[in-house]
Amino acid sequence: MRRRIQAPLLFALLTLAAWQAIVTVANIPEYLLPAPSAIFANIDRTLAVQLAVTFVEAVIGFLIASTLAFGCAIMFVRFHTLEEGLFPIAIAVKTTPIVAVAPLLVIWLGTGWWSKIVAVILICFFPVLVNAVKGLKAADAEYRELFQTLGASRAQEFRKLRIPFCLPYLFSALKISSSLAIVGAIVGEFVGATQGLGYLIMVSSAHLETATLFAAIAAAALAGIILFYLIGWTEQRVIFWHSGNME
């Protein structure tokens, strides 16, 4: 476990040291490529607040999208007609670039929280839907025959068989959409916002404050990593029985 942390940490430190040395020796101007020391100087309370704003937007949107998508997946699998009728629409929504829709969201929902949360929902919904539908159909036909011979109702078949079988699929979808959630929130903030990492990136790039820009980018990456590992941590506890997680 310690080795697993030590090696990457060592390489990261070496990279940073090399970066610092090159910038100093080659005398690269800060607006082109700031030295790590200049970037670290920009880590302050303001950055933490902006990070928190973006993170909260992403998490709320992510939770709403995941719940909606899972509910839809259950309806799709339960009522096949719904799947046939609505899946093409879901694909249409998915293939529309979020960047193209974001300005519309700001017109409708203003520059506050909701335009960002809806952007996150739009971007997170589809991967969860597709994987959950696949997962809900993942139990072998023989398992369903077993439940039939035991006289299980449709609801019991979902509760005791299909939904637990779906969890590994659901969690891989949640991992994918967790990184997308940060993208959605930042895109929403690009278009119209008064706070958040996207806002900070827009403002600092307009002012050529490249060190702040780098700090914001690093913070965005950190937000994605935190969300990803939170889900991974939950996954290991919820689906301990899955082959990928067995000791």
Q: Is 137 in the site for another protein (CB under 8 A)?
A: no
> What per-residue string of b and e applies to 174-195 under the rule 16 or more CB within 10 Å gives b?
bbbbbbbbbbbbbbbbbbbbeb
State which of positions 216-245 bind another protein (CB under 8 A): 239, 241-243
CB of 126 to another protein, least distance (A): 27
Shortest reach from residue 155's CB to another protein, in Å: 9
What residues contact residue 244 under an 8 Å CB cut-off, 6+ apart? 168
Binding-site string for another protein from residue 82 to residue 121, where x marks contact by CB under 8 A and - marks none: ----------------------------------------
Using CB under 8 A, pick the residue from 89, 95, 97, 142 that binds another protein. 142
The nearest distance, CB 152 to another protein, in angstroms, is: 5
Q: Tell me the window of 7-15, 46-54, 92-100, 138-146 that interacts with another protein (CB under 8 A).
A: 138-146
Of residues 160 through 189, those in contact with another protein by CB under 8 A are: 160-161, 164
Least Å from the CB of residue 208 to another protein? 55
Site for another protein (CB under 8 A): which residue of 75, 150, 208, 225? 150
Binding site for another protein (CB under 8 A): 140, 142-143, 145-153, 156, 160-161, 164, 239, 241-243, 246
